Amino acid sequence: MKKTFIREKYLKKIEPYINKDIIKVLTGQRRVGKTVILKQLIDKIKEKDNNSNIIYINKEYHDFKAIKTSDELYKYIKSKILDSSNNYIFIDEVQEITHFEIALRQLFSEGLEIYCTGSNAKMLSGDLATHLAGRYIEFHINSLSYSEFIQAHQLENNIKTLNKYIKYGGLPYLIHLPFDDEIIYGYLKSIYNTIILKDIVSRYNIRDIDFMERLLEYLSDNLGSYVSSKKISDFLKSQRLSLSVNTVMNYLKYLSYSFFINKVRRLDIIGKKRFEINEKYFFSDLGLKHSIVPFHGNQIGNIFENLVYNQLIYLDYQVFIGKHQNREIDFVIQKGNDTKYIQVAYQLPNKKVREREFGNLLKIEDNFEKIVVSSDEFATDYKGIRHIHILDFLNSEEI
């Protein structure tokens, strides 16, 4: 029997909106488990409603290949509606249907219950926001968090497990595979190729695939460093590749739209100004990152930053890189009226490093909580700053 891992956190978020007058949209990178969550929602609806009629469309299945346009989508759904039942519509990878938002708006106006998934962020910032403003709610689905990874693979919370999580990432399908480099990276490489070719190259008519791959290698090598389009353009020129800054910016957007990478902007802690240049990029899944450039230990500090960033997103924080005078704060996080500052270090081996990481936070003169995350065996609070071990941080459901 095929193993299934139930993503309780997401189901609890979505369940209160069942039978509510709003379209439910699940977004996220391909293969992070949106389809499985959709099917688990279908099971919940069937349990609660014996009179339910489920209309399910998955654009990755050959059976639904003929549904290409808004009109075809609308006609297909109308043909499946039962007047004697409560009709529930589920559409997987809805962005594959041209002008899908027109059909959704019409179906929604007819009082139908709609759920859909999408692997493209532009779908929300553009199509849905324009045609369905105020009529939908988004639930962003991430690959497995560290705590979910432990549960799904039935492992203990220790450094050995963390190393597996760092090396292989959190795509849910890995529960069906042995922890074998050749097997797992073969699978991850196939997912990488699907995302690049289907969600980026084909969607945006990109001709220079070689540049796209070099750009990802650059981002991987410069993980946790400030990145600008000009820096990348200058680097490419040094490699005898000539591309304009605009082209680089567009490629970065396309990678972000596919949820493959996440852009994190800088925030001036004193002036609250958001900077539009010199942002950082983190990978949504470290296993996919390592399918591009293999993991090497001298990047562990940057990997820790990526781990912490992904956990913060999983916990629904808004995340920025902090600038305080001439100092950098790894993360400024916000949720509602709550703000916290976080510094990340692989280890604090001596007094100088310890004073730097804690000292940057101590110089911020406000009352918001300040935290240092590291892998030091004994994490000891310092002058009111909380020190959290990386395993405890990644395994917590709140900070």
Tell me which amino acid residue 349 is.
P
pLDDT of residue 146: 98
Q: Is residue 1 part of a domain?
A: no
Q: Is the pLDDT of residue 189 over 90?
A: yes
115 and 154: one domain? no
In sequence order, the β-bridge partners of residue 389 are: 374
Q: Is residue 51 part of a domain?
A: yes
Domain boundary residue, one of 111, 140, 169: 140
- Whole-angstrom distance, CA of residue 247 vs CA of residue 9: 38
pLDDT of residue 124: 65
> How far does the chain reach from its first CA to its final CA, in angstroms?
37
84 and 18: one domain? yes
pLDDT of residue 10: 97
265 and 380: one domain? yes
Among the ranges given (68-72, 143-147, 349-353), the one the predictor scored with the smallest mean pLDDT: 349-353
103 and 212: one domain? no
Among the ranges given (29-33, 116-120, 208-212, 365-369), the one the predictor scored with the smallest mean pLDDT: 208-212
Question: Which CATH number do you get for residue 30?
Answer: 3.40.50.300
Mean pLDDT (the chain) is 92
pLDDT of residue 296: 80
Q: Is the pLDDT of residue 53 over 80?
A: yes
- Whole-angstrom distance, CA of residue 132 vs CA of residue 102: 9
231 and 351: one domain? yes
Domain boundary residue, one of 114, 140, 166: 140
Q: Is the pLDDT of residue 1 over 60?
A: no
202 and 119: one domain? no
Higher pLDDT, 319 or 356: 319
- Whole-angstrom distance, CA of residue 303 vs CA of residue 168: 13
pLDDT of residue 367: 92
85 and 20: one domain? yes
β-pairing, 52-58 with 23-27?
unpaired
48 and 176: one domain? no
Q: Is the pLDDT of residue 273 over 70?
A: no
Q: Which of 80, 30, 37, 81 is nearest to 60 (CA)?
A: 30
Q: Is residue 64 part of a domain?
A: yes
Per-residue pLDDT tens over the stretch 329-350: 999 999 999 999 999 999 999 9
- Please state the three-class secondary structure of 227-278 as a single string: ECHHHHHHHHHHCCCCCCHHHHHHHHHHHHHCCCEEEEEEEECCCCCEEEEE
Q: Is the pLDDT of residue 48 over 90?
A: yes
Q: Which of 289, 281, 342, 284 is nearest to 313 (CA)?
A: 284
Per-residue pLDDT tens over the stretch 11-45: 999 999 999 999 999 999 999 999 999 999 999 99
Q: Is residue 331 part of a domain?
A: yes
Does the pTM surpass 0.85? The reply is: yes
Per-residue pLDDT tens over the stretch 229-255: 778 877 777 877 777 778 888 999 999
Per-residue pLDDT tens over the stretch 116-166: 999 988 876 677 777 887 899 999 999 999 999 999 999 999 999 999 999
Q: Is residue 399 part of a domain?
A: no
298 and 264: one domain? yes
| Structural domain containing residue 65 | 8-140
Our count of domains for the chain comes to 2
Q: At 297, is the pLDDT very low, low, confident or very high (cuts 50, 70, 90)? A: confident
* Exposed / middle / buried, residue 119 (Cβ in 10 Å: 0-12, 13-18, 19+): buried
354 and 256: one domain? yes
Please give the C-alpha separations between residue 182 and each of 123, 186, 189, 284, in angstroms, as whole numbers.
Answer: 35, 6, 10, 22
Q: Is residue 3 part of a domain?
A: no
pLDDT of residue 327: 86
Tell me which amino acid residue 123 is.
M
Q: Is residue 185 part of a domain?
A: yes
- Whole-angstrom distance, CA of residue 201 vs CA of residue 214: 14
Q: Look up residue 14 and give its two tokens.
A: 């979505």
pLDDT of residue 40: 96
33 and 161: one domain? no
Q: At 259, is the pLDDT very low, low, confident or very high (cuts 50, 70, 90)? A: very high
Domain boundary residue, one of 120, 140, 160: 140
Q: Is residue 368 part of a domain?
A: yes
154 and 94: one domain? no
pLDDT of residue 232: 81
Per-residue pLDDT tens over the stretch 162-177: 999 999 999 999 999 9
